[in-house]
Amino acid sequence: MILDKELQFSDAQAFAASGNSSVVSLGAASKLFAGEPMVVVINVVVAADAGSGDETYAFALQTDDAVGFPSATELASRSISRTILTAGSQHTIAVPVELSSEGFLRLALTLGGTTPSITIDAHLVPQSFVDKYTTYPDNSTIS
């Protein structure tokens, strides 16, 4: 599958505290949501830390009309258990069909607990890509 770099939120982005992905500017692509349903695909590059047992991981898709996100609006969110955020795992957040994007999107991560950390890739893709979307750890051999 070919991924569009313009719709990429994170590329091996490491989080050790709450933070935000890169901003995706929809520009003329705001009509992107008029056709096929879209999803945010989160691929775990480095597994979520679960060492203390109290770590929490929440992901939220946000929109705003300004690139600096002074008044972000949450479109969709998902809390994912640390036990399934393993390296190579894939998770999705459905983008609401009635999406009213203000032109800019980002993925906000809220990490909690004693020692949370995770490294992810994240993209905005059509729903039909999800079944065809396969990820492999860096430097892996596929035979």
Whether residue 63 has pLDDT greater than 80: yes
Tens-digit pLDDT profile for residues 94-106: 988 765 668 899 9
| Domain spans of the chain, in order of start | 5-132
Q: Is 126 exposed, middle or buried (0-12, 13-18, 19+ CB in 10 A)?
A: middle
3-state secondary structure of 131: helix
User: Mean pLDDT for the chain?
Assistant: 86
The CATH code belonging to domain 5-132 is: 2.60.120.1110
Tens-digit pLDDT profile for residues 2-53: 677 888 999 999 999 999 999 999 875 555 666 778 899 999 999 999 889 9
| 124 Cβ contact list (under 8 Å, min separation 6) | 7, 8, 9, 24, 38, 39, 40, 41, 95, 105
Rounded mean pLDDT of 111-115? 94
pLDDT at 38: 87
